[in-house]
Amino acid sequence: MSAATTPGPTLAPREVARQCGVSADTLRHYERKGLLPRPARTDSGYRRYPPETVDRVLLVQRALVVGFTLDELARVLRERDRGEPPCRGVRDLVAARLTDLEARLAQLTALRQELRQLLVEWDRTLSTTPAGRPAHLLQSLAGRAAIAQAPRPGLARRGRG
């Protein structure tokens, strides 16, 4: 389908990307994942998006903030695009995100308290350790439950799809 035969105005990828605060690569990725319908193409092969693509990309961005994976969101949007209301499933996914978030907050609260205690202990240790001598601070991390159970930076909670 060429953009010339597409009714109404269309937007270039860079225009959609600029309006949404994402890159054109992100649009192509969303397209591959099934979050965006395949856009019309000009006779020379350039992508042209309908204006409602902006709203769709912004919806995707908000859903990612809530914690949806791209795969979950693609499934939900496919249902919606087929006219099947995904509302109950969406509600269940967000409820699960809230449960995950509350558990993570509890872990982080425990970790914060543990780190406060750790700093007090380390300050005490350092005050009695001669300058230039090791205090073995990192070894004292072993056996601390809140540290062992805390989420590890850089490790995904689960795949982003």
Rounded Cα gap, residues 78 and 34, in angstroms = 8
**Contact call for residues 63 and 19 (beta carbons, < 8 A):** no
Taken in order 122, 125, 130, 136, the sign of the CA dihedral is: negative
The single residue listed with the structure tokens 């965006």 is 36
Rounded Cα gap, residues 131 and 68, in angstroms = 51
8: left (phi over 0), alpha (psi -120 to 50) or beta: left
Mean pLDDT across 13-20: 96
pLDDT at 104 over 70: yes
Domain coordinates in residue numbering, the chain: 3-81, 102-149
Say what the pLDDT of residue 2 is. Answer: 47
For the stretch 40-90, pLDDT in tens is 999 999 999 999 999 999 999 999 999 999 999 999 999 999 999 999 999
User: For the chain, what percent of residues have pLDDT higher than 90?
Assistant: 81
**Contact call for residues 135 and 126 (beta carbons, < 8 A):** yes
What is the total residue count of the chain?
161
Rounded Cα gap, residues 129 and 134, in angstroms = 7
The fold of 3-81 is: Multidrug-efflux Transporter Regulator; Chain: A; Domain 2 (1.10.1660)
pLDDT at 149 over 90: no
